[in-house]
Chains A and B, each alone.
Chain A
């Protein structure tokens, strides 16, 4: 049972964090695999993030920070690229959906690096 808890709790916590973020309107959690989401999405102009290029710069900076910490997620760069391509193609719906997701992925990967730096020893058998 202890093993099961050690295995499941971090995953549950991570999922909870994602759900909490989505409830605040930060992301669409259904869009975790952007490559599978090719259909354009209509976004009302009022809901569009004001500065998508700035969000993409922020996402790229976070990706680099995570990589420097050895915690880059393998689908992060592709998400940033997909968002940038959507923006360049004038597909503002997809860009508005993917750019905040890319920022969130960056934030989560950096958070993972910082959390694990203090947590990993707890997983070592004593």
Chain B
């Protein structure tokens, strides 16, 4: 009887500790588990190589991609972005006035928590808000000039390591992160798939002719030139496409849902280097 009591008591304690452990799992524990998942599955891929996405899985595709990078398809858009970035607004202001360090080498800090307004601010949102605060109309969210300016700013940040911060003294920031995390793992659409279906469990699992890339390092190369698009596009354009592919009604670009998803998604890649803009199939 005593043995039975001991077993029940120990089992209860383990359950309590287990739930406490789950409740206490914060962003950094999440990130370590996320990284650990991939490192266990793909032990031969060094952590820093995750910025190359699915090209870690397929040597032929990697070779073609490296050849392409000799004369990258985003080059003209990058030059356009630099010109736009350096062109003063009609009121004499500039992008450099809106950002820390004059907007150079700061991509790795975005998205960031806006304590004053209690929201997640992505780099693209900050660019358009900079324009509006200087009397200029915002750019369309998914491609074109916005992607070009964002690409230029990412390019000036190449090699910098992502350091997304979730302020521990502002519970709203943690709540926004948790909502993004929930989005990543929640199945949607008629095909009943989540972001994780393809980019966690489904990484390197053939989906027709495609090999989905790992969620780790996925954000580092955005904005991206996709062969399918034949132009640069933003991360939220890709989110829209992903949702559409599983037959879920997409959310608008820069919606609260996608900004929070980007907050979580980018935090998971903390410690990896910026390599945007990139090119993908």
What residues make up the interface of A, taking CB atoms closer than 8 Å to B? 3-4, 6-7, 10-11, 14, 32, 67, 70-76, 105, 108-109, 112, 116, 119-121, 123-126
Residues on the B chain within 8 Å of A105, using CB? 190
Partner of B192, one of A76, A112, A121, A125: A112
Render B29-43 as a binary contact track against A, CB cut-off 8 A, 1 for contact: 010011011000100
Residues on the B chain within 8 Å of A6, using CB? 201
Residues on the B chain within 8 Å of A10, using CB? 187, 192
In this complex, what residue of B is CB-closest to A105?
A: B190
Partner of A70, one of B192, B196, B257: B257
**Cβ–Cβ contact B190 & A75, under 8 A:** yes
Q: How many interface residues does B have (CB within 8 Å)?
A: 33
List 12 A–B pairs whose Cβ atoms lie within 8 Å, in order of A's numbering.
A4-B201, A6-B201, A7-B202, A11-B191, A74-B243, A74-B247, A75-B190, A108-B190, A119-B187, A121-B185, A123-B196, A125-B200
Task: Say yes or no: is B86 at the interface (Cβ < 8 Å to chain A).
Answer: no
**Cβ–Cβ contact A74 & B249, under 8 A:** yes
Taking the closest CB of chain B, its distance from the CB of A104, in whole angstroms, is 11
- Give Cα A74 to B190, complex, Å: 8
**Cβ–Cβ contact B186 & A116, under 8 A:** yes
What residues make up the interface of B, taking CB atoms closer than 8 Å to A? 22, 25, 30, 33-34, 36-37, 41, 181-182, 185-192, 194, 196-197, 200-202, 205, 243-244, 247-251, 257
16 new A-B pairs (CB below 8 Å) besides A73-B248, A124-B33?
A: A3-B201, A4-B201, A7-B201, A73-B189, A73-B249, A74-B248, A75-B190, A76-B249, A108-B190, A109-B190, A116-B186, A120-B185, A121-B185, A123-B200, A125-B34, A126-B33
